[in-house]
Amino acid sequence: MNGSFVEIIIEYFNQLFQMQQRQLVTTQGRVYPMRIRTIFDLRHEWVLVIIGVIVGGLFGFLALINKYPAWIQAACVIAGLLPAFSRHVIDIYVKHGWWSATLTMLVAAQSFHGVEHLVQWVQYHILRWPFFQASGIISAANAEWVHFGWNWLVLATMIVLVIGGLRNPFAWLMLAWTIAHTAEHTYLMWRYIQALQELAALGVPDVSAQGLPGFFGRDGWIATSDVTRNSFVCRLPGFTTAVRLDVHFWWNVGETVLLMLATNMTLRQRNQTDTP
């Protein structure tokens, strides 16, 4: 990658960060090292958090009484929290640089995405909503596009972070995990678009085709393909027996855990290196 466009951009931001940090040290004294808890520590933005909750909640309530879908109500609350989180990310960028700010955004967003899957899990297994209704919070807008877009974003961000120094065994595992997960969502998106085209050809374009099985899990390609039928592979517990919702719940649990472990390891290494 030497001399590549990406390297040039990274180098530019590194120099910018070093200049800003020199100024910060000059004005505020010592900058405390970045830790994993720093990512979730919004205490210094508590005023904006409270205002965000109130304003976002108000808009969410208005959306509720105007009978907008649940995902719009949830989006209002999340939008209310964005100013506080944005300031938090800027603060991390100023103190620790672009790499740490990018990592903060990814870890926080991935954690929220995990909550989304948890909600989906509760809707399906506890509330027993039909599969096509158990779409979580934001995914209810369109589960296929939300998860497809999200996973490509995670993959792109991971690549940037790896280039920027997120390099340890957990990070490599996370990168592989993310590539596989994104590949599955790409397959799902391809099936989704194909199904929509088929439905349109049948004259029923208003029927959603979200939620079709993917590679893995119950009724997935591996479980039902003529290639694997009647072999042990097509009924491996979990691997080809779990419903799609569970499969993706565990995809995200794995992604979140690996990201946390990779982040923790890299931050510790960096902090040791930075210690005089």
Partner 1 sequence: MACSGAQNIAIPTPAPIVAATLTQIPFAPQATPCGTTFIRHELPHLTAGDPAGTYVYASNGSGLAVGDLNGDGNDDIIFGNIAGTATLYLNDGQMHFTPITTDLTDVRALAIVDTDGDGKPEVVATQRFRRPVIGEFKNDTLIFHDMPDVFSSFYAMNWHDLNGDGKLDVVFGTYDTEQLQHQGLIFNERGGGGVFIYYRNGDGYRAERLNEHADALAIAFPDINHDGISDILVGNDFNRRDMAWIATPTGWQSIEPFSQTTENTMSLDVADVFNTGTNAIFATDMKPYNQDVKTMADWLPAMKKLSRPLTADDPQYPENTLQVWKNGQWQNQAYNLQIDASGWSWSGKFGDLDNDGWQDLYIVNGMVAKDLLSYLPKNQIAEPDMLFVNNAGQKFTRADWGLSDSGSGRAMTMVDLNHDGRLDVVVNPMDGHAVIYENQRCAGNSIELRLVQPHSANPTAIGATVRISAGGQHMMRDVREASGYLSGESATIHFGIGSATNADAITITWPDGSVSHIDNIPSNTLTTITRTE
Residue ranges that bind partner 1, judged by CB under 8 A:
126-130, 132-133, 191, 194-195, 198-199, 202-204, 207-209, 212-213, 218-221, 224, 229-230, 234-235, 241
**Please, are residues 221 and 214 in contact by the beta-carbon 8 Å criterion?**
yes
Query: Which CB, 97 or 220, lies closer to partner 1?
Result: 220
Q: What angle do CA 162, 164, 167 make, to 5 degrees?
A: 40
For the chain, how are helix, strand and coil distributed in percent, rounded to 5? 75, 0, 25
Q: How far is the CB of 235 from partner 1 (least distance, A)?
A: 6
Query: Which CB, 47 or 204, lies closer to partner 1?
Result: 204
Q: Counting beta carbons within 10 angstroms of the beta carbon of residue 183, is it exposed (0 to 12), middle (13 to 18) or buried (19 or more)?
A: middle
Query: Which CB, 87 or 235, lies closer to partner 1?
Result: 235
Distance CA 265, CA 276 (A): 19
Q: How far is the CB of 214 from partner 1 (least distance, A)?
A: 10
Query: Which CB, 195 or 260, lies closer to partner 1?
Result: 195
Distance CA 194, CA 188 (A): 10
- Of 245, 255, 163, 260, the closest CA to residue 212 belongs to 245
- Ramachandran area for residue 208 (φ above 0: left; ψ -120 to 50: alpha; else beta): beta
Give pairs for 234-242: CB < 8 Å, separation 24+.
Answer: 240/216, 241/217, 242/216, 242/217, 242/218
- Of 121, 108, 69, 139, the closest CA to residue 250 belongs to 121
Q: How far is the CB of 122 from partner 1 (least distance, A)?
A: 10
Query: Which CB, 198 or 274, lies closer to partner 1?
Result: 198
Two structure tokens written together for 167:
């390099």
Q: How far is the CB of 208 from partner 1 (least distance, A)?
A: 8
Query: Which CB, 52 or 220, lies closer to partner 1?
Result: 220
Type of residue at 61 = F
**Please, are residues 14 and 97 in contact by the beta-carbon 8 Å criterion?**
yes
Query: Which CB, 26 or 226, lies closer to partner 1?
Result: 226
Q: How far is the CB of 200 from partner 1 (least distance, A)?
A: 9
Q: How far is the CB of 209 from partner 1 (least distance, A)?
A: 6
Two structure tokens written together for 61:
């309530």
Q: How far is the CB of 79 from partner 1 (least distance, A)?
A: 29
Q: How far is the CB of 182 from partner 1 (least distance, A)?
A: 20
Query: Which CB, 167 or 191, lies closer to partner 1?
Result: 191
- Of 185, 52, 45, the closest CA to residue 104 belongs to 45
